[in-house]
C-alpha cells in the first residue's frame, strides 16, 4: 500500500512538471511571435524512408539440376526470366536413352518368349516325369529353367522401367514459380 502511494506521488510530480514546462514554452512562444506555428490539415501520402544495409533473400530458393548426365540440347530460359511451376527449363539429349528404352523393350519381349518356352517345357516334362518316362534330373532342370526364366523376366521389366524413368528425366522443369538468377 505504501509502495503504491509512493509510485502515485512520483507520477503526479512528473505529470505536474511536464505540464509546467509546456506552459512555460507556450508563454515564451506567445511573447516572441504571438502564435505557435501551425499547418492546415490535408490528405496526402506520407513516405517513410529508413536507410539500412542488408541482404535481400527470396522466400524460396532452389538449385535445379539434372538427375542424369547428358548433353544439353536446348535451353529454354535466360537469366532474369520469370518461370512458372512445371515450365520446361532445358532438355537433354534423348538419343541414347531412347535406344536404351527400345533395347529394354526387345529384351523384355525375348524374356517373355523364354518364359513361355520354359513353361511349356516344364509342363511337358512334368507329365513325362509323372509317367516315369524321364528322370528326376531332367524334371528338376526344367523346373530350375522355369524359375530362372521368371527371374529374368522380372529383371528385364525392371530395366525397362529404369530406361523409361531415365528418359522422362531428360526434360528439366521449374520446381516452383520464380525468377532465374543464374545459369
Do the domain assignments include residue 8?
Answer: no
Let me know if residue 106 belongs to a domain: yes
In the chain, the number of structural domains is: 1
Cβ(81)–Cβ(133) below 8 Å: no
| Number of residues that make up the chain | 183
Cell (9 digits) for 138: 531332367
Note if the pTM is more than 0.95. Answer: no
Q: What does each of the 183 residues of the chain score in pLDDT, given as a tens digit?
A: 777 778 877 888 788 778 777 776 666 655 555 566 677 888 888 787 878 888 878 888 888 888 888 899 999 999 989 999 999 999 999 999 999 999 999 999 999 999 999 999 999 999 999 999 999 999 999 999 999 999 999 999 999 999 999 999 999 999 989 888 888
Residue 43 falls inside a structural domain: no
Do 72 and 159 form a contact (C-beta atoms < 8 A)? no
Is 12 part of a structural domain of the chain? no
H/E stretch holding 173 = strand 171-173
- DSSP E strands in 18-148: the ranges are 72-75, 82-83, 88-92
Q: Is residue 63 part of a domain?
A: no
Domain-located, residue 27: no
Q: Quote the domain boundaries for residue 131.
A: 72-179
Measure the CA angle with vertex 116, ends 113 and 118; round to 5°. 110
* Contact assessment for residue 149 and residue 111, using Cβ atoms and an 8 Å cutoff: yes
Largest alpha-carbon pair distance within the chain? Answer: 135
Residue 121 lies in a domain: yes
User: Residue 172 belongs to what H/E stretch?
Assistant: strand 171-173
What separation, in Å, do the N-terminal and C-terminal C-alpha atoms of the chain show? 72
Amino acid at each position: 500500500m505504501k509502495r503504491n502511494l509512493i509510485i502515485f506521488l512520483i507520477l503526479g510530480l512528473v505529470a505536474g512538471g511536464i505540464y509546467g514546462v509546456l506552459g512555460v514554452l507556450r508563454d515564451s512562444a506567445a511573447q516572441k511571435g504571438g502564435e505557435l506555428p501551425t499547418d492546415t490539415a490535408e490528405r496526402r501520402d506520407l513516405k517513410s524512408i529508413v536507410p539500412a544495409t542488408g541482404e535481400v533473400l527470396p522466400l524460396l530458393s532452389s538449385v535445379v539440376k539434372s538427375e542424369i548426365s547428358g548433353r544439353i540440347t536446348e535451353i529454354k530460359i535466360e537469366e532474369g526470366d520469370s518461370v512458372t511451376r512445371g515450365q520446361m527449363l532445358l532438355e537433354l539429349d534423348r538419343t541414347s536413352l531412347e535406344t536404351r528404352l527400345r533395347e529394354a523393350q526387345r529384351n523384355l519381349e525375348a524374356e517373355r518368349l523364354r518364359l513361355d518356352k520354359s513353361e511349356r517345357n516344364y509342363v511337358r516334362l512334368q507329365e513325362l516325369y509323372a509317367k516315369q518316362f524321364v528322370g528326376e534330373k531332367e524334371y528338376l532342370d526344367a523346373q530350375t529353367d522355369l524359375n530362372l526364366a521368371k527371374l529374368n523376366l522380372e529383371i528385364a521389366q525392371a530395366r525397362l522401367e529404369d530406361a523409361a524413368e531415365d528418359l522422362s528425366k531428360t526434360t528439366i522443369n521449374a520446381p516452383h514459380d520464380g525468377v532465374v538468377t543464374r545459369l
